Each structure stands twice: as structure tokens, then as C-alpha cells.
Amino acid sequence: MVNERWDMVSFECGSVAVVASGERLVRICFECSPDNVYSSINCFHPKAEQGCQPLIDEGLKQLTEYFLGKRRIFTLPLDNGALTPFACKVQQALLKVPYGSVISYGALAIVAGSPRAARAVGGVMSSNPFPLVVPCHRVVNADGRIGQYSAAHGTKTKAWLIDFERAS
């Protein structure tokens, strides 16, 4: 088994950790504070060791560029092995939603090839292991309301991210 490593950086809207195993990222933890990141790492990856490696450094660099408004697309290798085939389809469809745009859960379900699965898309978004990199914050309710967000400060952060991208 490959050892998992992680490291984090903090931004205005929260703290973000990148967890890697081998040559792929296995999780992005986007939490309110460093203490919350430690708890999340302990919950999902209790044997992971904090420390640098080239992939983690690249992940933190790309996240920093994103929050500086200098990056719109992430180019990081993700380990989707724990995702269902449906979740993989939804993730691939979501990656096509342009920076600064939003899409409804229902519209994303259609793009993913499952037009009646809006609620299931919501479930995939709530368990997204790669927030920010796989931009679940860009998915909103059919009436345009923000909807839920499971990372950092919840809907407050989701609204902030949508506004941040639109302003960039």
C-alpha cells in the first residue's frame, strides 16, 4: 500500500488540504480552519502523514493560483477509484462547466446522461472528494438559489466562490 501524505494552506475563505497517495490526489479537504482540516484528515485518512511531496506542492500551488484569480482550470491527477460509475460521469460533466458559470442540478444530470437524476447529482456533489478542483460550488438549484455546500462555511462559502469567479 502506498503511503498517503498531505499538507495544507489557508485562504480568506478557509483552509485547504491536499492529500496524495502515489501519483494521484485522493482528497481535497476544504474546511473552515486548520483545526477542522486536522479533524477531516483524521476522519478520512487517519494514517496519512503531513509533509511535502511534488504532487502536494503542485496541488497547493494551483489552489493558491486559483484564489489569486490566476487559475481557472486545475491540471491535477485525481484518484477516482472510490467513485461510482455514475459519480464519475457527473464529475466529468461538471468539469465542463466554465469558470464563472453555474449549472442546475437537473441540467448537470442531463449533461451526465441521466436526465431524471437531479437528486442523485446532489448526492454526488455533497460527497465530492475534490471540492474546488471539481467545482461542485458551480451547481445551484433550478430556481437559481445557491443550494447546499458541504465544504468550509457552507452556503456562505459557495456564494463567495460563485461571486469570486464571476468577478475575476
User: pLDDT per residue over 49-102, tens digit each?
Assistant: 999 899 999 999 999 999 999 999 999 999 999 999 999 999 999 999 999 999
Known catalytic residue at 43: no
Strand partners, 11: 14
| Given 29, 32, 88, 136, the catalytic residue | 136
pLDDT (0 to 100) of residue 1:
46
8 A C-beta contact, residue 15 and residue 33: yes
**Cβ atoms < 10 Å from Cβ of 94:** 21
Contact in structure between 45 and 19 (CB atoms under 8 Å): yes
Phi, psi of 94, deg, nearest 5: -65, -35
Ramachandran angles phi, psi of 41, nearest 5°: -60, -45
Report if pTM > 0.85.
yes
Residue 127 has pLDDT above 70, yes or no: yes
Within 13 A of 87's CA, how many CA atoms are on the CB side? 16
